[in-house]
């Protein structure tokens, strides 16, 4: 009997199964988690169900080929992916700072995968097994199948097929293509001749080898001409359709990247089969000592309902990866998984989510999508919902109702994104009311992203009025339900099209609704989105018109700070932004002002002639002590309000006046009280929080480099 139901990760596991050789070896930048939220788990289980022997090499060390050899050479090929999250996004923040944790690694440890993992792994495999068949897939490969702008190096890179040296690339969701490839390899066909499968890309030596295609601007053109880059982005965006789309070809220095049509969406029966496979729903036990894999925490008790999204947000790459045609699991499949989930030892009674890219999308947006494809020049929801849009929440609601009735289930939450414009288009309020009554965990998170019409236009998001109407409806139904629940809006700063004026408009909106976000997401230019093409080119690929791009570090910081204008730490940069935008009218004490005027220095002796004059030595000391400080931290930065307050207090008690005057305005002009002595002694016994915040002890520089695995 097997020790566990996980797929082999070493030779001992193979021997236990009686296997001398594997058909496929999956190499992934994530730790091995056998849950259907992880691409590695899905593809490996799909191949296993087809009768293939599959092993897993998770997060191999890349300073040698040893880890890549530990399972031997596969009979049919290596399958390589960069993990659930783009490795570069996994490593770096939008400001290109190294992150401190990796949720997809044991114990959250950073540094267990290389930058551009797919490329590094493929080159190591080729070094270890020169003639091996290598097939790449997953998010990293899928979004880099054409020449693409790379934010981290600030240049256009070639298709990942060239840099990795892989034989084939699977883009999008890979269950159907990987099985077709496996069958062709099993039949003896070499990978270089497998060119007919939808959902795959390959390299051709000549255009004579390709039939019925549409050519897009070449790598050379898009890397030197931003207009050509925008043109290529537009064609790629419009042709990602399995029915009406075209085969796309892009020249790279005399060779050609060929993208076949995307796969036709899986049927409900096919999707059920994928999610009904025997996943263990947990991380491999070898990670237990390190504290497990943090990423499993939220998804372990969540249910996937659907794939694909017809929302078409410009900054999102789901359209480029999963497509616009929504596919969903059956009610029976979802309920069956939930009934199994409640028997897990660590199940506490809460199903964390029922959703997908968009929780309330369960079917294609209209009936013609599966016959004629998606509209080439029209979107389903933007700028307004299409007249042909099928708006229906009842199937989704019925699943929620059934989940609520399962024994041991206390609550079913909806935490995936909800399209509030889709909800507002539904004339039946039943779902809206039951969502509020049963499925909100105190806070409902939605994504208006902005309020400026100019910015929303480039984002592909509905108008601010739609969001306002949604919040009013939410508040009305919440009040009727007798609950205290709130909307938490996701907001984005520095998106293409966002000027300082746009950011100020959003700040004023936040002022008016008395809300300040704890976190603000700067726009992150990642491969595969229209917004990234805008960021690089300064053009809207759909109209070819110029777009304002906030590029400088200073302006990005200003736009981000404006969304948190109430934070005292943001005062100076918010003020600088308002001055630069000629909006000093928002600096003051009025109800419409964002911030108060900056505190000014006041000559204390002139305003208080009776005050004890500091000694010469004391004056020199104060001068010396304050010369190296920012003026706003100086003890002499007193406002007129402070003076009025001190004068009022002085009329009550002469003794109090003297004490407070000396204590508040001149730390060296008199001796502190015993209480003050105690306080000062306590404060001087350790460094202040301000001086050490965000810094290493003893002022040492942060010597941490880009993540490496050498010697680990």
Q: What b-and-e string marks burial along 114-127, b requiring 16 or more CB atoms within 10 Å of the CB?
A: bbbbbbbbbebbbe
Distance from C-alpha of 433 to C-alpha of 423, rounded to nearest angstrom: 11
Under 8 Å CB-to-CB from 450, ≥6 apart: which residues? 456, 459, 461, 464, 491, 492, 495, 498, 502, 506
Q: Are 249 and 215 in contact (CB under 8 A)?
A: yes
Residue 80 sits at φ, ψ, to 5 deg, of -120, 135
For the annotated binding site for [4Fe-4S] cluster, the residues are 309, 313, 316
Q: Do 487 and 448 form a contact (C-beta atoms < 8 A)?
A: no
Query: Residue 107 corresponds to which tokens in the numbers above?
Result: 């114990």
Name which of 474, 464, 554 is nearest 509 in CA terms.
464
CA distance 128 to 126: 5
In 230-278, the DSSP E strands lie at 247-252, 255-259
Q: Which of 585, 595, 603, 708 has the alpha carbon at shortest distance from 666?
A: 603
State the binding site.
309, 313, 316
Question: Which two structure tokens, joined as six digits, stand for 321?
Answer: 């990866």
CA 701 from centre of chain = 29
- Euclidean distance between CA atoms 561 and 573, whole angstroms: 7
Backbone angles phi, psi at 257, to 5 degrees: -85, 130
Question: Residue 138: enclosing H or E segment and its boundaries?
Answer: helix 138-142
Calculate ∠ Cα 436-438-441, nearest 5°: 75
Site of tokens 């309902």: 305
Copy the structure tokens of residue 560. 């981000």
Give the span between the Cα atoms of 234 and 280, in whole angstroms: 42
In the block, residue with structure tokens 């990760």: 9
DSSP assignment of 218-240, as one string? -HHHHHH-HHHHHHHHHHHHHT-
What's the rounded Cα separation, in Å, for the pair 238 and 103? 34
Reading the block at residue 645, the tokens are 């307050």
Q: Where are the beta strands (DSSP E) in 274-324?
A: 282-283, 302-304, 306-307
| Helix H or strand E segment including 205 | none
Write the burial class of residue 9 (CB in 10 Å: 0-12 exposed, 13-18 middle, 19+ buried).
middle
CA distance 148 to 59: 26
111 touches 707 (CB < 8 A): yes
DSSP class of residue 592 equals T
Which residues sit opposite 134 in a β-bridge? 78
- Is the separation of the CB atoms in 158 and 219 below 8 Å? yes
* Residue 540, phi-psi category: left (phi > 0), alpha (psi -120 to 50), beta (remainder): beta
Residue in 484, 493, 474, 488 with CA at minimum distance from that of residue 446 = 488
């Amino acid at each position: 009997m097997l020790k566990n139901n996980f797929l082999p990760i070493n030779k001992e596991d193979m021997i236990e199964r009686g296997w001398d050789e594997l058909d496929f070896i999956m190499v992934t930048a994530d730790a091995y988690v056998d849950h259907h939220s992880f691409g590695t788990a899905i593809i490996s289980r799909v191949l296993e169900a087809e009768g293939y022997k599959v092993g897993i090499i998770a997060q191999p060390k890349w300073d040698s080929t040893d880890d890549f050899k530990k399972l031997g050479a596969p009979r049919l090929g290596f399958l390589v992916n960069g993990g659930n999250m783009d490795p570069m996004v996994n490593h770096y923040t939008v400001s290109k700072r190294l992150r401190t944790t990796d949720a997809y690694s044991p114990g959250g440890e950073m540094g267990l995968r290389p930058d551009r993992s797919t490329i590094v792994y493929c080159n190591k495999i080729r070094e270890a097994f020169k003639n091996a068949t290598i097939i790449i897939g997953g998010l990293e490969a899928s979004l880099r199948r054409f020449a693409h702008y790379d934010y981290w190096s600030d240049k256009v890179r070639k298709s990942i097929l060239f840099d990795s040296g892989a034989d084939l690339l699977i883009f999008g969701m890979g269950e159907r293509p990987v099985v077709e490839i496996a069958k062709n390899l099993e039949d003896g066909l070499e990978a270089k001749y497998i060119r007919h499968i939808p959902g795959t890309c390959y390299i051709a030596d000549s255009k004579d080898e390709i039939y019925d295609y549409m050519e897009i601007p070449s790598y050379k053109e898009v890397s030197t001409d931003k207009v050509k880059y925008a043109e290529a982005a537009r064609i790629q965006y419009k042709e990602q359709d399995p029915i009406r789309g075209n085969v796309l070809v892009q020249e790279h220095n005399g060779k050609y990247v060929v993208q076949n049509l995307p796969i036709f969406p899986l049927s409900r029966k096919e999707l059920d089969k994928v999610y009904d496979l025997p996943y263990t729903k947990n991380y491999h036990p070898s990670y237990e000592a390190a504290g497990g894999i943090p990423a499993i925490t939220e998804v372990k008790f969540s249910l996937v309902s659907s794939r694909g999204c017809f929302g078409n947000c410009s900054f999102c790459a789901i359209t480029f990866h999963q497509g616009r045609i929504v596919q969903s699991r059956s009610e029976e499949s979802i309920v069956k998984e939930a009934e199994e989930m409640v028997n897990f030892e660590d199940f506490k009674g809460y199903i964390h989510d029922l959703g997908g890219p968009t929780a309330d999308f369960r079917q294609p947006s209209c009936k013609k999508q599966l016959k004629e494809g998606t509209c080439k020049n029209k979107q389903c929801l933007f700028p307004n919902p299409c007249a042909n849009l099928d708006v229906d929440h009842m199937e989704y609601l019925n699943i929620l109702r059934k989940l609520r009735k399962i024994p041991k289930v206390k609550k079913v939450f909806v935490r995936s994104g909800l399209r509030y414009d889709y909800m507002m288009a539904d004339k039946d309020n039943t779902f809206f009311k039951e969502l509020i009554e049963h499925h909100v965990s105190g806070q409902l998170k939605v994504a208006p992203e902005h309020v400026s019409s100019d910015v929303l236009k480039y984002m592909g998001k509905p108008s601010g009025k739609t969001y306002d109407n949604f919040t009013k409806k939410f508040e009305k139904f919440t009040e009727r339900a007798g609950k205290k629940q709130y909307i938490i809006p996701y907001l984005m700063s520095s998106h293409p099209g966002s000027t300082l004026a746009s950011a100020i408009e959003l700040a004023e909106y936040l002022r008016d609704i008395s809300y300040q976000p704890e976190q603000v997401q700067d726009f992150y230019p990642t491969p595969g989105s229209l917004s990234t093409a805008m960021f690089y080119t300064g053009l809207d690929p759909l109209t070819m018109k110029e777009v304002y791009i906030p590029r400088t570090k200073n302006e990005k910081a200003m736009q981000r700070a404006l969304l948190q204008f109430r934070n005292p730490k943001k005062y100076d940069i918010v003020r600088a932004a308002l001055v630069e935008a000629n909006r000093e009218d928002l600096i003051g004490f009025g109800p419409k002002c964002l911030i108060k005027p900056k505190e000014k220095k006041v000559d204390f002796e002139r305003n208080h002639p009776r005050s004890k004059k500091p000694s010469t030595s004391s004056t020199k000391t104060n001068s010396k002590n304050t010369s190296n400080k920012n003026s706003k931290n100086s003890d002499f930065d007193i406002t007129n309000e402070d003076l009025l307050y001190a004068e009022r207090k002085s009329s009550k008690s002469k003794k109090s006046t003297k004490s407070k005057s000396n204590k508040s305005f001149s730390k060296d002009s008199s001796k502190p009280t015993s209480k003050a002595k105690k306080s000062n002694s306590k404060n001087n016994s350790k460094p202040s929080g301000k001086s050490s915040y965000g810094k290493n002890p003893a002022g040492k520089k942060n010597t941490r480099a880009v993540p490496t695995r050498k010697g680990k």
